[in-house]
Amino acid sequence: MICKIEYICFKYLSTGMSFRALAFSFQMGDTTVGRIVKERVEILWEELHPLHMPLPTTESLKNSANEFENAWNFPHVVGCFDGKHIRIVCPTDSGAMFFNYKKYFSVLQGLVDANYKFITVDMGGLGKQSDGGMFLASDLFSFIDGKRISFPEPDFLPHSNVEAPYVMLGDEAYPCFPT
């Protein structure tokens, strides 16, 4: 049986109702609803991300590259990444740090596999940052740079004697650098 607190969180996640509307429905303060949602979402993330979005391994990146080759005939691609503006409520005491050129607050960047499934997400970049700047400030870049995530060793391209590295694809806003 689901308790009232979990129900409030799931109602928010499934409908997108405002905290104020939920507070009215459940006869409590909107800051209380906000605190409930924040606490429960953090618990969900901590419990589920190791199962559904673990830190990529060399083997998982190699499998992702195989999927890209099979689905898109594009060898040695471990994932595609880009930034996306998703509206957020301005964090307390953040000023205009998360305010973007589209005139609202937003932050999200993700790396996806050949089936559009997220491999990693990074939230918390500044709204005014370029995609490349957000990537360089991301945990993903820190993990790659610190060798916590290792790309597969360069290998021969299919049907050739050309050895090539494994790569992540992004648009021109992202920097090129060796893996």
Domain boundaries, the chain: 4-52, 58-169
pLDDT at 177: 74
In this structure, the number of other CB atoms found within 10 A of the CB of residue 135 comes to: 24
Percent share of the chain, pLDDT over 70: 80
> What is the pLDDT confidence band of residue 35, given thresholds at 50, 70 and 90?
very high
Whole-prediction pTM value?
0.71
Q: Which residues fall within 8 angstroms of residue 128, CB to CB, at 6 or more apart?
A: 96, 97, 99, 100, 101
Q: How many CB atoms lie within 10 A of CB 112?
A: 16
- 61-119 pLDDT tens trace: 999 999 999 999 999 999 998 876 566 666 566 556 555 666 555 567 889 999 999 89
Q: Which residue type, as a one-letter code, is found at position 172?
A: E
Q: How many CA atoms lie within 13 A of 25 on its CB side?
A: 14
DSSP string, 80-109: EEEE---B-PPPTT-TTTTB-TTSSBB--E
Q: pLDDT over 90 for what percent of the chain?
A: 43
What single DSSP character describes residue 119? E
